[in-house]
Amino acid sequence: MTATSIEERGQTTIATRTVERIATAALTEVDDVGGSARRVFSIAVGGADDAQDAQVTAQVQGEETTLGVRLSVVYPTPVSAATEAARQHLVRRVSELTGLAVSRVDITVTALHAPTRERRRVL
């Protein structure tokens, strides 16, 4: 009796936490950016390096989401190049995985750190 096709009956909602965790995981796929220290009441706790995850906050409104990201950049990399790569990757990956359009990605670079992960010596 219903005219709508079987796959379009009902809505899908995605929790903000899901979007944030997807964005955090997507950021680990980007080279030369690392995590940021966790902040508890505006006080940084812990160090900022690759071992930490980047801090992502998401705001989902309907079919759109905006992201706020706090991350660190590996030292010799140009900051603007690294953040641009991170932004592009986030926009592509988050919209691909969640189906939400990413309208805005605000990035705060909280630290520059030396490369902690060892480079592969052999290929």
Partner 1 sequence: MTETDKTTTQGSASKTNTQASGGEVEKSGTSALVTKDGTTTIADTVVQKIAALATREVSGVHDVGGGAARAFNAIRERIPGASASSGQGVTVEVGEKQAAIDLQILVEYGVSIADLSRSVRRNVITAVEQMTALEVVEVNIHVGDVHLPGDDTDDDQADSSRVQ
- Applying CB under 8 A, which residues contact partner 1? 1-2, 6-15, 17-18, 21-22, 25, 96-99
Nearer to partner 1, 2 or 42 (CB): 2
Min separation Cβ 87 and partner 1, Å: 20
DSSP-derived 3-state class of residue 81: helix
CB of residue 16 to partner 1, shortest distance in Å: 10
Minimum distance between the CB of residue 117 and partner 1, rounded to whole angstroms? 15
Sequence-ordered list of residues with C-beta below 8 angstroms from that of 70, at least 6 positions apart, any chain: 36, 39, 54, 55, 56, 107, 108, 110
Amino acid at the residue 76: P
